[in-house]
Amino acid sequence: MKQKKWLLAGGLLLVMCLIAAGTQQIWSMKMPKKQAVQPLKEPSKKQLTFAFNSYGSDTEMRKVIDAYNHSNSDDALIQMLTIPRENYTRTLNMLMASGEGPDVFAVQSDWITTYMYKNWFKDLSSDIPESMKKNYSKWALTYGSFNGKQYAIPYGLSTVRLAYNKELFRLAGLDENRPPKTLNELKETAARISQKQLGNQKYGFVWPLGEDWYGFMQSMEIPMTYSGVTLFDFRTGKFDTTGYVPWMETMLTMKMNGSLFPGDLSMKYDTALTQFAKGNVGMMLVSSSDVYRLENELKLSVDWGVATPPALDEEKAGAGALMLVPEPVIGINSATPHSEAALHFWQYIHSDRVIGELYQKDVVIPVSSRIQQDYPNTRTSSKFTNFLPTDVESFYPLQPILLDSTITSSVVNQDHFGWNNRLKAYRDVASGTSSVNDMLQAETQRLNTMLQSAVQMGSVSMQNYMDSSFDKRHPIGK
């Protein structure tokens, strides 16, 4: 009997448990999910995307963003997009054209006018304080403006120099304190180094053509301004690429005699810098933006020197000012849903303290005169001081941007622009598949035909680009 009572009691207990479980399940099913009690959470911060591209390293800029995210008191966090440098412009253009562009972005000089024309920049005219504007030259403010509106201000500049390996100079019996001053001397010096290092996989000069900007602009068009050679003549209002014939012929001769580092047509700029840092290259043209990368990231240990880029010949040396190049300007996407937060971040990265500290770390040369004075670069252990602007250097006015009339309001392709086809012409010459003179004469004619068409359509006004008294030694005035 006792056993039966225990069994009965156990059965009743089991039934009660099942009923309770079922009741709980039914209650849970009927209970609206929104009524479920959840722990309180802090509101999430807005995520702003930032596309950045510079002529040098972005390591320190990432540190700037990390510092901003840690100290920022508002509700925004900055996420820096990872875009390979060689694909940066194309990727950014695709994002902007698709309406998925980053909130804040950097744009190179060739595309600034296009972004203004497309209304992709937010108008900052009323957001930039006068205290900031007064420390920039008229040229700098004009550079980032369009139709009377201010969209950006160049925060930094880059200079170009001939870097050379003193050790390879000594081994070749050359004077390490006398780098080549002309193209002919460059050719002879490169040949001497290559001959002395035959079999050691060390070469006199490297010409990285895997990226058009570094291969043709930084290595050719910019250095040739020191000889008075410019792509656009502001006195005549005409384009002219024939001035680069001597440079192209010199490079092709060096390629034939084994003075150039192999693989020039496909060589990326980072690869060329790495080879120089390892001591396998006698000479190459580099910018001030490369110093940080060479000394801190590539751990360059060779004894190297810095010199003015070689001129066409001794008579042409100094015939024009050596061009200063603005770093890609940073603007705000006009379509950003976080306009106020984006402006706060834009003001932060353009602040005296941020740019000044980057200057002191050998990352960038400020455009602002006040920052240069308040944050002097005094490091003597770095070659960076050899890249600071001199009296023979200057910015240049913007040349006409030749936009094809077939461009639509939503599609932007690099082939729409005269400059992209110009680089293709240069590449054909560098590959040896086209005559130097014939190709550059044909390209000159093509550019001027496009310019004439742009003037007739009204997209280019020549009064903005012509100056009969234009002085190549002082392109933006004394």
Report yes or no: 210 and 266 within 8 Å, Cβ to Cβ. Answer: yes
Report yes or no: 124 and 330 within 8 Å, Cβ to Cβ. Answer: no
Per-residue pLDDT of the chain (478 residues; tens, 9 = 90+): 434 444 334 444 443 443 344 434 433 333 344 444 444 444 567 899 999 998 888 899 999 999 999 987 667 899 999 998 888 988 999 999 999 999 999 998 888 888 998 899 999 999 998 888 998 999 999 999 998 999 999 999 999 999 999 999 999 999 999 999 999 999 999 999 999 999 899 999 999 999 888 999 999 999 999 999 999 999 999 999 999 999 999 999 999 999 999 998 999 999 999 999 999 999 999 999 999 999 999 989 899 999 999 999 999 999 999 999 999 999 999 999 999 999 999 999 999 999 999 999 999 999 998 999 999 988 777 899 999 999 999 999 988 887 644 444 444 444 445 467 888 899 999 998 889 999 999 999 999 999 999 899 888 899 989 999 999 999 998 7
Please give the pLDDT value at position 113: 84
Q: Look up the CATH superfamily of 165-320+395-478.
A: Periplasmic binding protein-like II (3.40.190.10)
Closest by alpha carbon to 416, among 404, 424, 405, 425? 404
Give the N- to C-terminal CA distance of the chain in Å, as an integer.
118
Please give the pLDDT value at position 403: 63
Give start and end residues of each alpha helix (H) in 162-227.
166-171, 183-196, 212, 222-224
Decide if 46-159+324-389 and 165-320+395-478 have a common fold: yes
| Domain extent listing, the chain | 46-159+324-389, 165-320+395-478
In angstroms, the CA 127 to CA 304 distance is: 45
- Name every residue whose Cβ is closer than 8 Å to that of residue 252 and which is 6 or more positions away in sequence: 429, 430, 432, 436
Q: How many CB atoms lie within 10 A of CB 45?
A: 13
Dihedral, CA atoms, 333, 269, 249, 225, nearest 10 degrees?
50
- 25 vs 15, 17, 29, CA distance in Å? 15, 12, 6
Q: Look up the CATH superfamily of 46-159+324-389.
A: Periplasmic binding protein-like II (3.40.190.10)
In angstroms, the CA 223 to CA 240 distance is: 16
Closest by alpha carbon to 151, among 82, 196, 104? 104
